[in-house]
């Protein structure tokens, strides 16, 4: 007895791994919501019904969180609103993280792509430059730059961009070197296509996802580095609030008012985890696409 067409149709196995792989994990969704919320709060801070981040309230010094609707996250040793300062610090951290990584992405991708694509003497010279920059201690370099130029938001962005540049360059160099040997690139060369066109049309689009996913990870590193420099007093100068600066100012009050340090520390920790979750998800997505080529 032969099987009916219906039974034959239903007996064919269906591979749903690709469908499952396209689903966004819950942690990534939470991370996206968290980062979106931070950006919205930073943008809307001037119109939010909150005290100014640098405005003291000496009648509400070291106010415990959740005891006053005017200061829902409490106040610090000068009576400044913790919530307002955390939002202001988020603006500083995001500006430093995104700004410094943009500098590193533009310059590092250019250097790494040229080194990986052309090879030979160009690769050796630019690779030598990358190795020198990587060998120099990053923390010492950032401290030297901020000390020489003076603590400011622009100085932090430049310092972290310079420190992040060689890491981006190395990733771009490795990826560009791989694609430079692919058949479609060799075919473009054989057809007389210009080097500039090959780099911009064939190399850069293929390494973009790899470099961008690594760049998102660098945003988290830059935010952590900004917090460390601010904690050391080399970040943005007061009265501008930053997460590291809040922890530095509140460490003397850690026994009596631990929330002054703990709240910005927890917010920074969650933000770093969120960025890393998003970067890891994007990186795994690029690996998956690359495996099917």
Length of the chain in terms of residues written: 293
> What's the mean pLDDT in 147-156?
84
Point out the least confidently predicted range of 124-128, 168-172, 210-214: 124-128
Tokens of 69: 């609707």
Confidence of residue 57 (pLDDT cuts 50, 70, 90): confident
Give the C-alpha separation, 222 to 169, whole Å: 16
Tokens of 125: 């010279």
Residues 138 and 166: beta-carbon distance below 8 Å:
no
Phi, psi of 75 (to 5 degrees): -130, 165
Tell me: the pLDDT tens digits for 122-139? 878 888 888 888 888 887
User: What pLDDT, on the 0 to 100 scale, is given for residue 291?
Assistant: 38
Point out the least confidently predicted range of 16-25, 85-94, 186-195: 16-25
Residues 224 and 114: beta-carbon distance below 8 Å:
no
Nearest to residue 220, comparing CAs of 162, 261, 164, 173? 164
The percentage of residues in the chain with a pLDDT greater than 70, rounded to a whole number, is 89
Residues 266 and 86: beta-carbon distance below 8 Å:
no
**Structure pTM?**
0.80
Give the residue extent of every domain in the chain: 27-42+72-288
Give the C-alpha separation, 253 to 64, whole Å: 13
Tokens of 249: 């100012």
What topology is assigned to 27-42+72-288 in CATH?
MetI-like fold (1.10.3720)
For 148, counting Cβ atoms within 10 Å of its Cβ (0-12 exposed, 13-18 middle, 19+ buried), the class is: exposed
Whole-number mean pLDDT of the chain? Answer: 84
User: What pLDDT, on the 0 to 100 scale, is given for residue 265?
Assistant: 94
Cite the DSSP H helix spans in 23-152: 26-44, 82-118, 120-135, 138-149
Alpha carbons within 13 angstroms on the beta-carbon side of residue 210 total 24
């Amino acid at each position: 007895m032969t099987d009916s067409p219906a039974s034959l149709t239903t007996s064919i196995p269906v591979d749903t791994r690709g469908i499952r792989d396209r689903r966004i994990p819950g942690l990534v969704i939470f991370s996206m919501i968290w980062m979106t919320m931070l950006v919205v709060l930073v943008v809307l801070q001037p119109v939010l019904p909150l005290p100014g981040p640098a405005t003291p309230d000496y009648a509400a010094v070291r106010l415990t969180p959740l005891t006053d609707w005017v200061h829902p996250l409490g106040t610090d040793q000068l009576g400044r609103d913790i919530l307002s300062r955390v939002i202001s610090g988020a603006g500083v951290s995001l500006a430093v993280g995104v700004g410094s990584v943009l500098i590193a992405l533009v310059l590092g991708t250019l250097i790494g792509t040229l080194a990986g694509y052309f090879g030979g003497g160009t690769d050796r010279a630019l690779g030598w430059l990358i190795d020198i920059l990587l060998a120099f201690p990053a923390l010492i370099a950032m401290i030297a730059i901020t000390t020489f130029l003076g603590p400011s938001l622009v100085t932090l962005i430049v310092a972290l961009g310079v420190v992040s540049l060689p890491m981006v360059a190395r990733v771009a160099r490795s990826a560009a070197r791989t694609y430079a040997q692919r058949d479609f690139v060799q075919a473009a060369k054989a057809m007389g296509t210009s080097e500039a066109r090959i780099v911009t049309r064939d190399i850069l689009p293929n390494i973009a996802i790899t470099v961008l996913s690594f760049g998102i990870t660098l945003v988290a590193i830059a935010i952590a580095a900004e917090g460390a420099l601010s904690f050391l007093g080399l970040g943005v100068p007061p009265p501008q609030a930053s997460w590291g600066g809040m922890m530095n100012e509140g460490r003397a009050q850690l026994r009596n008012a631990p929330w002054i340090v703990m709240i910005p520390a927890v917010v920074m920790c969650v933000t770093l985890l969120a960025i890393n979750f998003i970067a890891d998800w994007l990186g795994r997505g690029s690996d998956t696409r690359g495996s099917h080529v």
